[in-house]
Structure 1
Amino acid sequence: MIDFMTYLDDSYGDQKREIAYRTRYVYEALKNEEVSLKSKWTIQDILNIEKYRQALSVQKRTALHHFVQYLLVRYNLQTDIEEFRILEVIEDIPKDFQDITKKYLEFLRSYRKLKHWTRFQLAYSLKYFFSHIDNNYDIIDVRQVTKDHILNYIHYLLSNNSQRNTYTRFRELSSFFNWTKRFKLTFNNPCKGIEVDYGHKITQCLDEEKQRELVKRWFSDQANLQEAVIGILGLIYGCSSEEIRNIKLGNFKEKELVLPGRPIPIKLPEKVLQLINRYLLWRDEICKGANNDYFLVSKISYKKNCPVSDNTFRNLLKETGLSPRDLRSTRIQDIAFTGNLKLLEGLGLSHEGMKPYIRLAAPVLLMEHNDE
């Protein structure tokens, strides 16, 4: 329990009352025969705690969640528990398709080096597909799946999911069948020749006057510093909400910001660096010595060393009447109208992600070309 208290101390800083409460709740839980204290903990023991804590109050459930996280770190079980959760999803897949799903996910782990959360999502995607096939057709082998089965599945997805979710599921399924064809597990890819639209809706671009007004607001001495750093990163550098939420202090390298997924770092001018330094001073006062790796923090997230929640993030821009998507979309559209695809790639956009913006800009670019 002393090691657990030290772990909590690293997470909560000077929040001694929080540490005391969580330690007490865990100690009370460990008196229960189902989750009694052990000299060495296994995956099954941790799963028992997870099951036991579901019926408890929010405070006790949270305390045991921290205890589970401590055990995973203490006994190096993080990878094991992640792989176990993937296997749990595979076990829910109809038996005729479990082996091939395991082989595919193992290939992605061993050769493609995909992270566990990506493979976990793919396991769920294949589970939905194979359950649909099993429930509606007399099929026991992936070699029996035809283009008509795929089309019917897409129709089923569209009736229950968004266009974008359907597109994602289809792409995942097409990648799976590309793999089966490559390793001669099927004769062809039944997804070949089928087109599913991404369904990307482009947000209206902010005009130049509105952009200048926002920049002036965010660089003023009276600016809300959280709103200001989000606004500048979104409007000037086209950062998505996901990118901003997951920026860590370690991503800042001297006068650059290095973001995963972007081919080149963002160079930060002196004026932006001054704003970021003002925010960091404010951030230090909020964190009160707690160990938090993330650049953007809230009164809740700083205790847990995790990104701020989606709701908190959106609310930080509430006074502007804008969403993070409005800011990023404005920047992307401004670049798209230059016709420079390399700049769009610099924002981390894939060719698929560029298409809607290029289609939007194409008539204007064509007219400018004809005028020349």
Structure 2
Amino acid sequence: MPKARKRRLVVLRQFFRFARSKHIVLIDPARTLTAKEPSGFRGRTLTLDQQRGLFRRWTTDDLVHPHEALLGILALLHGASSTEVRMLKIADVDPAAQTVLLGKRPHPVPLDPASWAVLQRCLAHRAAWPTANPHVMVTKGTKAGRSPASTAYLSHVLDECGYPPRMIRSTRLVDLVNTMDPKLVAAAFGMDPQATLIYLTDHVAQEAQLASRATNPLARPDDRR
């Protein structure tokens, strides 16, 4: 039961400390035990069919809220985090080059036509509000001020699609790190080089990889987009 290893070890140490203090045992056998876990990424990722379904949802369904579509498409195609999208400002958008500045990334991120269309839809939604808020994503609670949308709001934006932002972003990072040099990915994303190494294939949850292969067993490595 590897998932319960840490909890069980805590209980064992408490018991044997008590037993040794009462002279029931002479040596504490739990003192030298450790419950180290692999430091690599072990989360779940999306299958190819799931990615394609989300892409269609965010690029073709006008009933989807613009905020969901923006956060989702930037996470799915550009590996954007919720914080990067939450802090995105109008000044970070370059209409001429069709690029955006995301978080601590050293260079503007070029947007593909689908991502740019989703961003324009979000900006149109924002324009309907009488607001001077500098951020792209404006809510009822922030339209009268200048602060970004709350972290709690962003954590629920993707509830309707059924997948959390972290899972969608991790899917993109796993793909990039395993098809490119992890150091190049770290440099492009403004991340610590060690942070990208955890997304190498040998750390990805086995069930997620098996699900992906079952969905499309003939997919080429460069077709995971």
Separation of aligned partners in 2, 1:273 and 1:355: 30
Instruction: Tell me whether 353-362 or 238-247 shows the greater mean CA deviation.
Output: 353-362
Of 348, 352, 364, the residue aligned with 2:194 is: 352
Which residue number corresponds to residue 224 of structure 1?
65
Separation in structure 1 between the aligned mates of residue 202 and residue 134 of structure 2, nearest angstrom:
39
TM score, norm. by length of structure 1? 0.42
How far off is 1:316 after superposition?
1.1
Deviations, residues 305-361 of structure 1 (Å, cap 9, x unaligned): 111111111111111121111111110001122142213431222112112113636
Structure-1 separation of matches of 2:145 and 2:38: 35
Larger radius of gyration, structure 1 or 2?
Answer: 1
Matched residue type, 1:281: A
How far apart are the structure 2 equivalents of 1:307 and 1:323?
20
Q: Which position in structure 1 is the counterpart of 2:157? A: 316
- Structure 2: tracts of 5 or more residues without a match: 1-9, 11-35, 210-225
2:78 is equivalent to residue 237 of structure 1: yes
- Residue 205 of structure 1 aligns with which residue? 45
Match of 2:121 among 262, 278, 284: 278
The answer on 1:261 being equivalent to 2:99 is no
**Cα RMSD (Å) of the superposition?**
2.5
Residues 349 and 202 (structure 1 numbering): CA distance in 2 closer, same or farther, change over 3 Å?
farther
Q: CA deviation at 1:259?
A: 2.3
CA distance in 2, matches of 1:320, 1:200: 27
* Offset, 1:207: 0.6
Deviations 1:35-63 (A, max 9, x none): xxxxxxxxxxxxxxxxxxxxxxxxxxxxx
Q: Name stretches of at least 5 consecutive residues in structure 1 with no aligned partner.
A: 1-158, 160-195, 365-372
Give deviations 1:154-201, integer Å, cap 9, x for gaps: xxxxx9xxxxxxxxxxxxxxxxxxxxxxxxxxxxxxxxxxxx999565
Alignment pair present for 1:293 and 2:145:
no
Moved more, 219-228 or 247-256: 219-228
Could you say which residue in structure 2 is the equivalent of 1:337? 178
Amino acid at match of 1:282: H
- Structure 1 equivalent of residue 5 of structure 2: none
Percent identity reads 27
Counterpart of 1:205, as a letter, is T
More helix by share: 1
Once the two structures are superposed, residues 7-50 of structure 1 have per-residue CA deviations (whole angstroms, 9 ceiling, x without a partner) of: xxxxxxxxxxxxxxxxxxxxxxxxxxxxxxxxxxxxxxxxxxxx
Residue of structure 2 equivalent to 1:28:
none
Gap change, CA 1:269 and 1:355, over 3 Å in 2: closer
Aligned residues: 167
Superposed CA deviations along residues 244-298 of structure 1, whole A, max 9, x for unmatched, are 111111001121112242122111123322221122111111x32x210011111
- Alignment match of 1:214 (pick from 54, 63, 66): 54
Cα distance in 2 for residues equivalent to 1:292 and 1:197: 44
